[in-house]
Structure 1
């Protein structure tokens, strides 16, 4: 999960929420946008394109599928990053979001935001007005962080989220799952603003309203927001974990299976007399096996932590029906470390095993296969 903070904040604003997450095997990555946190000496321009380019570079350096979470101004950055990487962005979470097209506030309103740089009292007043349950210690820390930002950076960044990005004038280019989280008492990202400028741009976004929370819902109610994120993750991670496996069956190639496997993957199957170990061997076995089927359809999928359970129905040998269950065990990076494949009925298992042995002659010894 990649977290993007909002206006006047820094990467540490997510610490409390991250500590409340319970989804196993998820790496959480936070960062400072240019001009904020530990990067206050960065020079402009402070634009959405610059922010999205830098956050996107972090996502690319991670080299893994990711869910990206952004708050307020950071939600717009998160959408731009996800839209450029739809193949790896498993989900997009927008917390108290501002419209990507901008808030378009008049100058008399924006001048109060543009002038916040270095003014601790004014920043405290704004945060107090826009929050409901912000603890005093959190408020103090946010004010310290916000007043470190240079006045010219504050001015330019305020104009950034007010003016918006041209992509916000169109439906979002991100096609994946979206969760929009709003604080019930948020006086900035109001229900009207979100309903008019955020949610209509996505095909079928999930929405959540957090009670007793304002614009910093992730700080005001971290356990509640984390629970909502855990439920969102439960919906997007199972498909991601098994996608490499089901996609490889569609392609029927060793390379496609290789991408889904960890280096030390182990394959066990009712069509094998002993396990096959190591990515190179396993990918070739699976590629050969996939070509034996005349058809194969995955009918059910269930995820339980590190394991995915796939039910499937196939035909082979000119129409003989094969039913089965596959159990996939993944590591923290989502790579398959163990695959257990159970075929039925027994007669088809023996015939399938013998045919697999014939196709893999020279790669695996005959002792790996049933000879019935």
Structure 2
């Protein structure tokens, strides 16, 4: 269910792409109660028959028109060329835009590549094989199905339109020569393996223009991080939106507020259920044997969250589809408990496996007994320690 206290996330695609490229990210955000809108830019894969002009100014006007149709505040998210567009749109609607997220961004001032370097890009219109090869060359793990889909829809783009797209992102906008006037929070996500918008280009042409922008590299991703690692991008977006909505009460600096962490604040079974795959499996030092299935795991986690008197997630690391969260907590009248939680996610970004390691041992045993009491008649007592 979408939460009314969160801003709507408006997603803007990049060069040659379409709004549908955001579907995996939108699916995850929708599951977490975050409203989204995505736009098709004129002349590109989603609207190949839409007439020009195909300029940053025209695309900015189109995004501003979408913002005006959305109720309440928004977060603007743009990828590649789309990052240029959303920054310009934020200037136009500073009163509505709560934050900016720039994914593998092209600098607003343009890439300023020489003619011989951009010539191959200008020849991509109507050539599905060349578009496919271009995406493969600048990505690390582009999903094959999405690669095929984009090649098919991209073949319909008018070849005469593509040079205009290229000139737009290569020349950039005059505003890019100065520090950004956007005063809100900014999150920059770059692909760790992006050979186009490299760390050097992003640092010099994008990050340096913002005051206090937060920057993260998405491992296992190139220029299309949102298609290659949608679960990671959605995780960063969730944390960004939750922070704007005031939902970072139990996360330390550098730890993303997300479905798992915010569920511990809500302390309800339904809050945890939003993040789980149907067959989720929970293992923990407080359990004699694993608990399986979304409904049972929801009940266990809701009961566990109610036992903690305080809980802060202090460190975070991600490796592929695994996420590692260190945490510190108190329970039972101030007893200190700490540990590490490992979350393994499926293709859709849902939590499929959970491993929770508690310390010290006596606190873990006490916690297990308390869980057994709370869940009596709900979860088999054989899962828990009994003093």
TM exceeds 0.5? yes
Gaps of 5+ in 2: 1-8, 248-387
Alignment: residue pair count: 239
Deviation at 1:28, TM superposition (A): 0.7
Per-residue CA deviation, residues 85-109 of structure 1 (Å, 9 max, x unaligned), is 1221011000000000000011111
Q: Which residue of the other structure, out of 33, 41, 59, is the alignment partner of 2:41?
A: 33
- The alignment partner of 1:151 has SS state of coil
Task: Give the Cα–Cα distance (whole angstroms) in 2 for the partners of residues 45 and 157 of structure 1.
Answer: 10
The alignment partner of 2:245 has SS state of helix
1:1-372 alignment runs, 5 A limit: 1-21=9-29, 24-238=32-246
1:61 Cα shift?
A: 1.5
Distance 1:213 1:149 in 2: 26
- SS at 2:157's partner residue? coil
8 A contact 2:29–2:234 mirrored in 1:
yes
SS of the equivalent of 2:140 reads: coil
Summarize deviations over 1:310-343 as a string: whole Å, max 9, x none: xxxxxxxxxxxxxxxxxxxxxxxxxxxxxxxxxx
Cα distance in 1 for partners of 2:38, 2:45 equals 11
Structure with the higher helix share, 1 or 2: 1
Q: Is the 8 A contact 1:22 1:230 kept in 2?
A: no
Structure 1 stretches of 5 or more lacking a match? 240-372
Which deviations, in whole Å up to 9, do the C-alpha atoms of 1:143-188 show, x marking residues without a partner? 1122211111111101110010011111112110100000000001
Q: CA deviation at 1:44?
A: 1.8
C-alpha change, 1:122 and 1:205, in structure 2 (3 Å) is same
With normalisation by structure 2, the TM-score equals: 0.60
Cα deviation, 1:294-314, whole Å, max 9, x if unaligned, reads xxxxxxxxxxxxxxxxxxxxx
SS in 1 for 2:161: helix
Report which of the two structures shows the higher radius of gyration computed on alpha carbons: 1
Contact 1:130 1:215 in 2 (8 A): yes
- Between 137-146 and 10-19, report the one with greater CA deviation: 137-146
- Equivalent-residue separation in structure 2 for 1:153 and 1:237 (angstroms): 40
RMSD across aligned positions (CA): 1.3
TM-score by length of 1: 0.63
User: Do the aligned residues in 1 keep the contact of 2:76 with 2:101 (CA within 8 Å)?
Assistant: yes
Equivalent residue for 2:344? none
Q: CA deviation at 1:26?
A: 2.5
What's the CA shift for 1:21? 2.3
Deviation at 1:23, TM superposition (A): 7.2
SS at match of 2:57: helix
How far does residue 63 in structure 1 lie from its aligned partner after superposition?
Answer: 3.2
